Amino acid sequence: MDKLYKSKSKKFFANDHETWGHKWGYKDTRFILNDDRTVRMLGDRYELAGIDMPDFIPYVEEMLEVKIDPEDMLKQNEDMPIGPPNINEQFVERIKGIFSDDRYTFADDDRLIHSHGQTTSDEVYKVIYSRIDSTVDMVFYIESEEDAGKLIQLAEEFDVCLVPFGGGTSVSNALQIPKNENRMIVAIDTRRMNSIEWINEEDRRVCAQSGITGSRLEELLEEKGFTVGHEPDSIELSTLGGWIATNASGMKKNRYGNIEDIVENVTMITPKGDINQVEPLTRASIGMKPQNLLFGSEGNFGIITKATLKIHRLPEVQKFNSAVFPNWRTGVDFMYDLSHTNFIPASARLVDNVQFRFGQTLKARPEGLEKLIEKIKKFMVLNIKGFDPYQMVAATFKMEGSQEEVDYQEKNIARLTKKHGGLVGGAENGKRGYMLTFAIAYVRDFLTDYKVIGETMETSVPWSKIHQVCEAATKRLFDLHEQHGIPGRPYMSYRIPQIYHTGVCIYFMLGMSVKDVENAADLFSSMEHSIREAIMENGGSISHHHGVGKLRKDFMQDTISPASIDLLKQVKRSHDPKNIFGIQNNVFTD
């Protein structure tokens, strides 16, 4: 993984990397449709790879009520069209005078990679099948804080727009380039700043550069017996700077915390100087804390160059488990009870029946003894315990800690499962649930070729409004689908990936066939906007962890007061008066 970082002779360029750049993830991995209509994940990067899965296409066709037809596919662009760069001569001349030419590029493909994130309809769909109109004009790869300061200084001097860029996995259109930006636009790629600056094992802190990916950070720490424990679904690709900029959440937040719990100090270089604390602070009372504003800054404000995070010794034990419940409401009641206890595992997730059945399809056709065992299990669950295969839901758990801690959690979770009429499902099913997490984005890209648009949406909602929000979002999707005469049946599925004291995160997966649908991407985008309205009208928040970007900026007025919005604009005006960081996310639209 990330072998290029170890090679001193070759510097990182996004257009010459093992990641796709436009589609999600790695070039060695994608799903393909075999002639026998099984589906396989190519490569050997993931556990799911190399398995012919027979149930996937039947599931998709059943749920969407359309045929997956290799004769009727969207054509991917062969050449990725992009306009010529808008060059600010004086700026470029100064750059060339100061930096060697392996520090920047005007190459079309590198520019295009830096002109979008991973939002399905507005970004990925368009760059792959259509075109993106607004692009960056140059890509600069910073290698130090001094570089960041220099770029900002030059941008101020020559009125250039800067766009910080980490892993490019934004799903809020945060990386979408504003159409009305007329200045030269330079993407500041941070990924060459991917080192650990220091580790303090006694105090359990690490200082890392902002361009480090989650995987690399964990890899380097593991060598010393430590972990940060932040595991967003995008861990292989997303960076520390991006996590702070989006106020990210990770799978194991119950044990390790979300990004605001993990990070003790941030350094951001802004046009008015560096925002940081002189020392990382164990909990302190220092008055109003400017650092608190950097979480969720979404590229509007400066370049994050490094941060100090809490680290933990690798746990003695890591163990999976799972449980199935008769239906969604029972599963939610289980999660509610779990949230009040002292045995919440590092990760606890509940998936609905639709997602549970989807998970069942990402398996090989069982053979021989395995087939027999599967049949017995199924029989036990469906016939002996009386579970309805179209109602049952599943919870998956990952437990980490000392042997005693894990035993304590496992024992108590089993007891609570029984109390709610559930069945303990075992470690294998638990592990499988998490395995799918990293495959999902590849599924999206696979299905889009077959004219199926899929997207995820997420929200935080109080316990008392979970069902209301799920029902309202589902109804809105189905109403819009019918209203617009879209083929087949819409796909809606949800899970609860995080539980909290007062509420949960709900993570929706939506999809629909767009065969013969005009302006499919824009239509889908408008439907998503309307579903967000329905979510928020019923008590859901603007976002749990994906952030606001441009996708949800319309909902900021329903989230914070007008005076709060003014405050943020004032902060922007005072710290970036020339709008150097002109990405226009959140309330900072022109």
Report 440-469 residues binding a copy of itself (CB under 8 A). 460-464
Which of these ranges, 58-66, 142-150, 386-394, 399-407, lies near a copy of itself under the rule CB under 8 A?
A: 399-407
When asked if residue 290 is in the footprint of a copy of itself (CB under 8 A), the reply is yes
Closest CB 514 distance from a copy of itself, rounded Å: 28
Q: Is 390 exposed, middle or buried (0-12, 13-18, 19+ CB in 10 A)?
A: exposed
Nearer to a copy of itself, 160 or 496 (CB): 496
Pick from 73, 87, 284, 384: which binds a copy of itself (CB under 8 A)? 284
When asked if residue 4 is in the footprint of a copy of itself (CB under 8 A), the reply is no
Q: What is the 3-state secondary structure (H, E, C) of 332-385?
A: HHHHHHHHCCCCCCCEEEEECHHHHHHHHHCCCCCCHHHHHHHHHHHHHHHHHC
Nearer to a copy of itself, 421 or 539 (CB): 539
Residue 509 is inside which H or E element, if any? strand 503-513
Alpha carbons 235 and 543: distance in angstroms, whole number: 19
Alpha carbons 58 and 73: distance in angstroms, whole number: 18
Pick from 225, 337, 566, 589: which binds a copy of itself (CB under 8 A)? 566
Closest CB 448 distance from a copy of itself, rounded Å: 26
Pick from 3, 6, 562, 590: which binds a copy of itself (CB under 8 A)? 562
| Number of residues this chain uses to bind a copy of itself (CB under 8 A) | 92
- Given a contact cutoff of 8 angstroms between Cβ atoms, the answer to whether 307 and 210 are in contact is yes
Alpha carbons 346 and 546: distance in angstroms, whole number: 21
Nearer to a copy of itself, 353 or 460 (CB): 460
What are the angstrom distances between the C-alpha of 371 and each of 217, 366, 367, 430? 40, 5, 5, 19
When asked if residue 204 is in the footprint of a copy of itself (CB under 8 A), the reply is yes
Written as one letter, the residue type at 276 is N
When asked if residue 541 is in the footprint of a copy of itself (CB under 8 A), the reply is yes
User: What single-letter DSSP state applies at residue 123?
Assistant: I
Pick from 44, 65, 197, 203: which binds a copy of itself (CB under 8 A)? 203
Q: Helix H segments across 142-227?
A: 145-158, 214-222
CA within 13 Å, CB half, 309? 29
Pick from 505, 514, 521, 535: which binds a copy of itself (CB under 8 A)? 505
- Given a contact cutoff of 8 angstroms between Cβ atoms, the answer to whether 230 and 255 are in contact is no
When asked if residue 587 is in the footprint of a copy of itself (CB under 8 A), the reply is yes
When asked if residue 582 is in the footprint of a copy of itself (CB under 8 A), the reply is no
Nearer to a copy of itself, 133 or 203 (CB): 203
Within 472-491, the residues that bind a copy of itself by CB under 8 A are none
When asked if residue 291 is in the footprint of a copy of itself (CB under 8 A), the reply is yes
When asked if residue 548 is in the footprint of a copy of itself (CB under 8 A), the reply is yes
When asked if residue 405 is in the footprint of a copy of itself (CB under 8 A), the reply is yes
Nearer to a copy of itself, 9 or 574 (CB): 574
What are the angstrom distances between the C-alpha of 579 and each of 148, 274, 322, 407, 463? 16, 16, 49, 54, 40
Pick from 327, 330, 437, 559: which binds a copy of itself (CB under 8 A)? 559
Closest CB 289 distance from a copy of itself, rounded Å: 6
Q: Could you tell me which residues come within 8 angstroms of residue 409 by beta carbon, excluding any fewer than 6 positions away?
A: 343, 344, 345, 397, 399, 401
Number of Cβ within 10 Å of residue 326's Cβ equals: 18
| Kind of pairing between the strands at 226-227 and 312-313 | antiparallel
When asked if residue 590 is in the footprint of a copy of itself (CB under 8 A), the reply is no
Within 250-279, the residues that bind a copy of itself by CB under 8 A are 258, 264, 270, 272-279
Closest CB 185 distance from a copy of itself, rounded Å: 21
Closest CB 291 distance from a copy of itself, rounded Å: 7
Residue whose pair of structure tokens reads 């914070």 in the numeric block: 560
Nearer to a copy of itself, 234 or 297 (CB): 297
- Given a contact cutoff of 8 angstroms between Cβ atoms, the answer to whether 582 and 161 are in contact is yes
When asked if residue 200 is in the footprint of a copy of itself (CB under 8 A), the reply is yes
Q: For this structure, is 507 an active site residue?
A: yes
Phi/psi at 105 (5° precision): -155, 155
Closest CB 154 distance from a copy of itself, rounded Å: 19
Pick from 288, 386, 485, 590: which binds a copy of itself (CB under 8 A)? 288
Pick from 544, 551, 579, 583: which binds a copy of itself (CB under 8 A)? 544
The alpha carbon of 410 is separated from its chain's Cα centroid by a whole number of angstroms, namely 29
Within 332-371, the residues that bind a copy of itself by CB under 8 A are 340-342
Catalytic residue IDs? 507
